[in-house]
Amino acid sequence: MIEVKNLTKRYDGHIAVNDISFKIEKGEIVGFLGPNGAGKSTTMNMLTGYISSTDGSVFIDGFDILESPKEAKSKIGYLPEIPPLYIDMRITEYLNFVYELKNADCGDKKQHIEKIMNITGIMNVKNRLIKNLSKGYKQRVGLAQALIGNPEVLILDEPTVGLDPNQIVEIRNVIKQLGKEHTIILSSHILSEISAVCSRVIIINNGKIIAEDTPENLAKKYGSENKLYVRIDGDENKVNEVMSEISSIESYELSNSGTDILAEVTVKKGIDARKEIAHSLLDADLSLIELREKEVTLEDIFRKLTKRDNSVVKNILETEKAAKEEEKNESDI
């Protein structure tokens, strides 16, 4: 449904997006992640045809976004980070305007717009001026305009900005439901939302794609297998003394929650340290409340891959470069 080939964007010598390629199949919900300045928003703007690329191509259902913009854009619903709202219009007026602007043809226009207002939860405020809405409701109206015309592809840039926790869960459920009928690219800084909604994740940093896989596979690939989480009831100084003497522990960090001592432990590779830790704490008359492997979150992976001076990313890019050179040499032969 979406195919990106060698996409590049330069600004006055600065490379914002550097030769990236990826595919998104019909019906996928894909998280597109990157720190500020990584090239994420630039990429999304090129996907929608809002800005042109310096090199490379974007295909939406087979249509080149630059060579066949009308056909390609008719298949896209876009919610930018700042929703494109006309704040002096009422919601119903605005959505009718967007319907006409898109030259949509969805049968009964009124029924189509009402369905979208129900999906996005704005039916109860449909006659209010947009400028009088809260930030959360403005975000919902922005999502509604993206759905006008029933586009096959939805590109959502920070769709939960300004929403309270209950509204975030509601929009998450809406996106999951929309994923049954649409192909979705979702950008968000709330990584727990990406994990909950997306079947695949693409991470971009410094204009390059540095990871692309399911959240589960990324956790296996980049997560630490030698981390333990230990919760202890006892004196912090005594806990520190015991931990420092356990031979299977490589390093640890203690924090005091006020009721318990929390220890994040790195154990030596190839060693199951759980028995030694448990016995050592019990022998010291310390109460072991919890001992488990530390769960690797998407946030952990994101921080690991996007931190500065990252040897992991350097190795990824060097491997990618070598693979491209090998592919070029084979084609030359």
Band of residue 200 on the pLDDT scale cut at 50, 70, 90: very high
In this prediction, residues 100-105 reach a mean pLDDT of 92
324 domain-assigned = no
Cβ contact 20:43 at 8 Å:
yes
Q: What is the Cα–Cα distance from 311 to 317, expressed in whole angstroms?
A: 10
pLDDT at 64 over 90: yes
pLDDT at 304 over 60: yes
314 domain-assigned = no
Whole-model pTM: value is: 0.76
Flag the least confident range among 103-117, 139-153, 167-181.
167-181
pLDDT at 122 over 60: yes
Structural domain that includes position 185: 2-75+152-221
118 domain-assigned = no
pLDDT value of position 328: 54
β 287-293/227-233 pair status: antiparallel
205 domain-assigned = yes
If asked whether residues 161 and 277 sit together in one domain, one would say no
Band of residue 159 on the pLDDT scale cut at 50, 70, 90: confident
If asked whether residues 278 and 186 sit together in one domain, one would say no
A 10 A CB-CB count for 21 gives 13
135 domain-assigned = no
If asked whether residues 39 and 157 sit together in one domain, one would say yes
pLDDT at 316 over 70: no
Q: What is the Cα–Cα distance from 173 to 119, expressed in whole angstroms?
A: 10
pLDDT at 186 over 70: yes
Band of residue 321 on the pLDDT scale cut at 50, 70, 90: low
98 domain-assigned = no
Q: Which two tokens stand for residue 54?
A: 């310096």
Q: State whether residue 245 is helix, strand or coil.
A: coil
Strands of 227-233's sheet in order across: 249-256, 261-267, 227-233, 287-293
User: Closest by alpha carbon to 57, among 84, 85, 19?
Assistant: 19
Residue type for 261, please?
Answer: I
> What is the overall mean pLDDT for the chain?
88
pLDDT at 81 over 60: yes
If asked whether residues 198 and 233 sit together in one domain, one would say no
User: Closest by alpha carbon to 180, among 26, 314, 72?
Assistant: 26
Among 188, 221, 254, which residue terminates a domain?
221
Q: Which two tokens stand for residue 87?
A: 């704040």
CATH number at residue 161: 3.40.50.300
If asked whether residues 200 and 229 sit together in one domain, one would say no
If asked whether residues 199 and 239 sit together in one domain, one would say no
Q: Structural domain tally of the chain?
A: 2
326 domain-assigned = no
Q: Which two tokens stand for residue 318?
A: 């060097």
Q: Phi-psi bin for 61: left (phi > 0), alpha (psi -120 to 50), beta?
A: left
Among 192, 221, 250, which residue terminates a domain?
221
A 10 A CB-CB count for 192 gives 13
Among 221, 250, 265, which residue terminates a domain?
221
301 domain-assigned = no
pLDDT at 320 over 90: no
pLDDT value of position 278: 94
